[in-house]
Amino acid sequence: MSETTAAAAPAPLTMTPPATTSPRRMDFAGFCAHLSAAYTEGRSLQAALTDIVPAADVGQAALRPQWLDEVWTPVAMRRYFIEAINRQALTSGLKVYGWKWDTYPTVSTYAGNKTAVPSSTATTEPIEAAVERLAAGWDLDRIFVDLGSPGFIESFYQAAVRDLAGKQDADVGATLLAGATDDGAAADAWAMIAQSAAALASRGASMSFCGMASDVWADYISSATATVPWWVPNGPNPSLRDQTGTAADVPFFMAPSLPAGNLLAGDRDAATFYEPSPNPIRVTAVNIPNGGVDLGVFGYHAILVNDSRGLSKVTKTP
């Protein structure tokens, strides 16, 4: 028996793929350098992205307005004339009453030795002033109270009170000016002050306050050093912040309610301002049939000129 040798089958052919390399992932620094180089070489980079601008946020989902609540409003808060004169409580009635001397009792030289004693006439007269009333009322929809901002009603009241205070002071200034003694005219603010002070002193009064119209105040604060009297001290006065000043021991203030060219000075005791406490009076009522809340502010005051000789009005020479 012969032995047959079988040849081994050839191995199948396989294709080896070409070698490939994966690019290295670019880090952030490399990306920035790449962009910089592109711009330097004049090339541009554009991406197919959709623009989202503030106008697209109609629903204010991202850009919501900032709510600031009440902002500042310039309002004159000082009551200059009221603070400058006496103040008393107003308790009742439609008027305030008093009396003053019409003719003072006088004395004369007496010879003695049981001779006749000098005598003189003395008379008095009554004075009175009506109680002035300032008021305002509003009927607010209940929703302002039920669902409105908690501080709105208080801000509403405060705004009305500030307006009332300014009108009260203007009324007092006008009453004092009308009841003051006319002491003539002078060329400038300093001459007006000196003339008023001399006139008050001649009548037994003193100058404890001095209000100036806006143009007279401008003359007062713009005076050159050479024209200011020697007794005016150097210091922080006058104040441009609140339009007040002090010369020697007399306080000055600008009174916008005075007519142009007027200076009104006087003794603190020459007039008295009467007002109740509290003033003004706040009133709140519920208007159920109309679904409202009634708010009211009522102010009362009286101004009594005790003696016109204690008030001085001087006008500026045109």
pLDDT at site 236: 52
All structural domains of the chain, each given as residue ranges with its CATH number in brackets, are: 80-103+122-316 (3.90.1690.10)
pLDDT tens string 63-122: 999 988 888 887 767 899 999 999 999 999 999 999 988 899 999 999 999 999 999 999
Report yes or no: 264 and 114 within 8 Å, Cβ to Cβ: no
pLDDT tens string 275-303: 999 999 999 999 999 999 999 999 999 99
pLDDT at site 81: 95
pLDDT at site 7: 54
pLDDT at site 20: 63
0.85 exceeded by pTM = no
155-181 average pLDDT score:
94
169-177 average pLDDT score:
95
pLDDT at 245 over 70: yes
Please tell me the distance from the alpha carbon of residue 201 to that of residue 203, in angstroms, as a whole number. 5
pLDDT at site 182: 97
pLDDT tens string 124-136: 999 999 999 999 9
CA atoms within 13 A on the CB side of 56: 4
Report yes or no: 316 and 188 within 8 Å, Cβ to Cβ: yes
pLDDT at site 17: 65
Closest listed residue to residue 260, CA positions, set 211, 212, 203: 212
pLDDT at 5 over 60: no
pLDDT at site 250: 79
pLDDT at site 260: 96
pLDDT at site 75: 72
For the chain, the average pLDDT equals 86
Closest listed residue to residue 140, CA positions, set 124, 128, 153: 153
